[in-house]
Amino acid sequence: GAVVSQHPSRVICKSGTSVKIECRSLDFQATTMFWYRQFPKQSLMLMATSNEGSKATYEQGVEKDKFLINHASLTLSTLTVTSAHPEDSSFYICSARGPGHSLSYEQYFGPGTRLTVT
Amino acid sequence: AQTVTQSQPEMSVQEAETVTLSCTYDTSESNYYLFWYKQPPSRQMILVIRQEAYKQQNATENRFSVNFQKAAKSFSLKISDSQLGDTAMYFCASLAGNTGNQFYFGTGTSLTVIP
């Protein structure tokens, strides 16, 4: 099956610093990756969609300068939270889809990254 | 646009019993998919079941089945013979079939299976 990993699983950073979260497709080429944010006991909200080699498309209300997304290869997308603040603390989940996944619903989720900003 | 509503924030069920989780949705798409995802304490999103809107037959996966009422825009999940491992958050979601990239998730139902 299609496997998506995220690294790190947990990260704690100080306010004002930047932190990078990686999302990797392990056994398929991910032409499209999605980044979600999940607040405690709430649903997943799509932040942005990234296609390999292109700029990410951000959802309304998501600051593109704060949440930098890079999808430079077919197996890796990164989300960098710049100048993090405590309100950025959340659970970040990526999902991925590849060229072999012709149906729109074939997206595979990573295990998520818990970010805590102190 | 699509919206998904789950009106039951928390539910509990005795082990081995049956429980039904409710979901309603709204979409202007003619072709769409509906899903139930499970998120256990590990936080990994796990696909439980999928329903293609063009199919009249309700999807089933072992102990999990759905009651898809297209006219009413209702998509409930029935879990039979509940097991302790079923304890998790359950999210209902929709996705447009033709142009869809984005999942629209409901707010979730926290299910606890009581031994």
Which residues, listed in sequence order, are joined to residue B82 by a DSSP beta bridge? none
Structural tokens at position B5: 């509503």
For residues A52 and A72, give the distance between their C-alpha atoms in angstroms, rounded to a whole number.
Answer: 6
Interface of A with B in 79-118 (CB under 8 A): 91, 93, 95, 104-105, 107, 109, 111-112, 114
Closest CA to B111 of B4, B32, B14, B1: B14
- The residue ranges of chain A whose pLDDT is under 70 are 1, 99-105
For B39-95, what is each residue's pLDDT tens digit?
A: 998 888 999 999 999 998 999 999 999 999 999 999 999 999 999 999 999 999 998
What is the predicted pLDDT for the residue at B42?
87
Average pLDDT (B102-112) is: 92
Per-residue confidence (pLDDT) for residue A101, from 0 to 100? 59
Q: Does B102 touch chain A (CB under 8 A)?
A: yes
Q: What is the mean pLDDT of residues B21-48?
A: 92
Q: Are A74 and A20 in contact (CB under 8 A)?
A: no
